[in-house]
Chains A and B, each alone.
Chain A
Amino acid sequence: MIGTTVASPSGLIIGAICGLVPLLVGLRYGKIRAGLLAWVACLMSGFACGVLGGIPMIVLATAVVISYAYVDKQDPFTSRASLEEVNFEESNFEYFMRQMSRLGRTLRQYWRALTRNKAGFVGFLGLMFFFVMLTFGPLLVTYEGRARIDRRQPGASSLFQRPSAEFPLGLDWQGRSILSHVVYGGQRLIVTALQAGFATTLIAVTLGALAALLGGALDQVVVALANFILTVPQFPLLLVIATVARDQFKNPLFLPLLLGALDWPVLMRAVRAQVLSLRERDYIQAAMALNLGLPHVIFREVLPNLISYVVVNMIFSTRAAVYQLVGLVFLGMVPLQEPDWAVMIYMGRQQGAIFNADAISMLLSPILAIALFQLSLVLFTRSLEEIFNPRLRTGL
């Protein structure tokens, strides 16, 4: 799985077929430019992720195309007629169109919110760069796993090479293209970090919301546990556990879960405080008075107000997980597996790249990749705030 790519030529065909839906809708309503753009979007997402990318993109892209064609003015509700004149009946088709155009308008608002904050948009572009590199890169660059002794230059003391036209980032200590390792080496690190960030958030939000909503003994136990974990120094503890639980690393979910189990307390306390304050809001009480039901209150009243906070913190947890993962590898505490940016740093140091002018790219490339990825994550959170906050999103 790792070291391969999900992007494939068959995905390209899938994407092209998926894109026909918004394209035809666009042609039907005379929105040809939007239809073509939607087709390209489907093509690319199908190319990148196959059916998993193509099918959802049909819905999203079609909604956007419809939102250009079907505007509020076509909805009798928004006319300025009087109650007698308005026809409230609508066919299922009209209803479908109205809902799709609403979804499309929301997506366009998201896009506008995303591009409004310059820093956030730069972060978004950075993340897209890494996404494209990790999915499409393998189509262009072949991975070099074996040592290439044949590339030794006459008279050279090692296989390291500076960047050249043939090898844009140079060669590593085994004469392998560093570019290929940069292209392939982010997948596991980023996926593991995302999983860890997700695990952290899931634990924190579940425990925090339950503690705040149910209170009592559960609340006390959760808070005490969180405080206990917070008082233990995190990274040394991680090292100890990593040493003791060596065998577990074969399970790819062990590391994310371990990071999540250590990282949740800070976010949990914040979520708990947020839910405690949200619980007292007047609109929650109004929902209770209207008897809208507990599921409605949790999922429709509380959660939407929490979501931007949660997603932003998920990204911060992901960022923290990247550093922890790199730290663990750098100290050699987890099994090393190539290709991996962190392993590149580790091996570079091992192989004396620090003192070798020819080898500078071996250390700088992964460090730069990690730093840029982290920077993109942090910048991107700026835009998320604008996307999730209706006040900022709708402008005013």
Chain B
Amino acid sequence: MNAPSAAQTAAPLVSLRGIYRSFEKDRREIPVLQDINLDVYSDEIICLVGESGCGKTTTGKIAAGLLSPSRGELRFEGRLASEYRTRSERMALRRSLQIVHQDPFASLNPTHTIGQILSFPLRRHRMVENRAGLRRRVWELLTLVDLTPPGDIVNKYPHQLSGGQRQRVSIARALTVNPRLIVADEAVSMVDVSIRIGLLKMLHELRQRFHLSIVFITHDLALAKYFAWEGRIAVMYLGRIVEIGPTPAVIGHPAHPYTKALLAAVPEADPDITRRKKQMPLRSEDIPSLTAIPAGCSFHPRCPFFQPGVCDHTVPALLPAPQTGQLVACTPLAQSGTLKPYA
């Protein structure tokens, strides 16, 4: 497959195969995810990017085992999730997959102190031997996420902390159970820009130290580029993955027209560069509704490289891009290797 390094040729940590997921709304089935295939290797960072509503959170929840797919299979270390039968196996699986939410105000229960929030999972899963061990572990965790001195934090309530501090508590809480994978769903998008880099650096360090895999969900390509430079990026559009590959390839040589458009829209810190950047006008600004997904390639009504009769016919498969090697789902690209502007 599309494994970026030799270390990752082993069985993936988590693997999603042919995942479909729909929600019922007003007695109608709304397909939110269609045919998602995604492997997350151990020690890897993988970024999910895409517009709002394209199904990033849903994919993340399914990967974390918090939401069951309508169809398709979830494997953990090569074994189907449904094959984890005994209670202890299921508990271990549950603990291996953790999630960090976007909103630091909603992700911590306002009625508990930080110390309590960290103690609950430690006690429940007997991660510590006695009271002294519990206190030591809470201290360690708070130090790990740079909330120092821990004594100042442990008896506080979430509302007494800043957004960035709360997000650190969320991360510490996920670490209590020694997970293998953390799904960080827009984990930094609601904290101040100045604090973001610190949080991302910390996540990186924690990943290296504990050999974590991170599924990093964001709608911000610049952030994805910064955070996942050594990892991979998966670009989602209307419930499908349209391009996936090593970050330098996807960012440096985007193959899918949608990825190109996303990259063209990223503002640079330097306004001159932004102005000089090639604009890529889409044929339509409207994102189609999930209730009326266009036939064929779902991006075709907006695509500047639309080819009538080709794109609106069959759903394109994810195939290696001509030179750069990432997987891309685009029929003209697969057929002729180039894109022609729509006349």
Contact = CB atoms under 8 A, between A and B. Distances in A.
Q: Do A and B come from one complex?
A: yes
Interface of A: 72, 75, 77-80, 83, 86, 88-90, 95, 281-283, 285-293, 296, 300-301, 304-305, 390-391, 394, 396
A83 B140 contact: yes
Contacts of B176: 290
B139 A296 contact: no
22 contacts: A77-B150, A78-B154, A80-B151, A86-B139, A88-B133, A89-B132, A283-B107, A283-B109, A286-B101, A286-B170, A286-B173, A286-B174, A289-B94, A291-B94, A291-B95, A291-B125, A291-B177, A293-B124, A300-B120, A305-B111, A390-B110, A394-B160
Contacts of B152: 78
Contacts of A281: 106
A77 B139 contact: yes
User: Which DSSP category, helix, strand, loop or mixed, fits chain A's interface?
Assistant: helix
A285 B124 contact: no
A304 B160 CA distance: 18
A172 B132 CA distance: 69
B159 interface: yes
Contact of B157 (A95, A292, A305, A390): A390
Contacts of B271: none
A286 B177 CA distance: 12
A273 B221 CA distance: 38
Interface string B117-154: 00011001100000111011001100100000111101
Contacts of B170: 286
A282 B103 contact: yes
B293 to A, nearest CB: 26
B173 to A, nearest CB: 7
B98 interface: yes
Given A83-B143, A305-B110, A390-B157, 18 more contacts: A78-B154, A80-B151, A83-B136, A86-B139, A88-B133, A90-B131, A281-B106, A282-B102, A283-B106, A286-B101, A288-B66, A289-B97, A291-B95, A291-B124, A291-B177, A292-B120, A296-B120, A391-B157
Interface in B311-339: none
Nearest to B111: A304
B64 interface: yes
Interface of B: 64, 66, 91, 94-95, 97-99, 101-103, 106-112, 120-121, 124-125, 131-133, 135-136, 139-140, 143, 149-152, 154-155, 157, 159-160, 170, 173-174, 176-177
B158 to A, nearest CB: 9
Given A80-B149, A304-B111, A290 B121 contact: yes
A77 B151 contact: yes
B107 A282 contact: yes
A301 B107 CA distance: 12
Given A283-B108, A305-B111, A394-B157, A78 B151 contact: yes
B109 A88 contact: no
A289 B139 contact: no
Nearest to A288: B66
A93 to B, nearest CB: 13
A83 B121 CA distance: 22
Looking at B94, B97, B102, B110, the one whose CB has the most chain A CB atoms below 10 A away is B110
B46 to A, nearest CB: 19
B135 A77 contact: yes
A313 to B, nearest CB: 18
A72 B155 contact: yes
A301 B154 CA distance: 18
Contact of A390 (B103, B111, B125): B111
Nearest to A389: B110
B151 A290 contact: no
Given A282-B107, A283-B109, A290 B132 contact: no
A90 B106 contact: no
A80 B94 CA distance: 35
A394 B155 CA distance: 11
A88 B107 contact: no
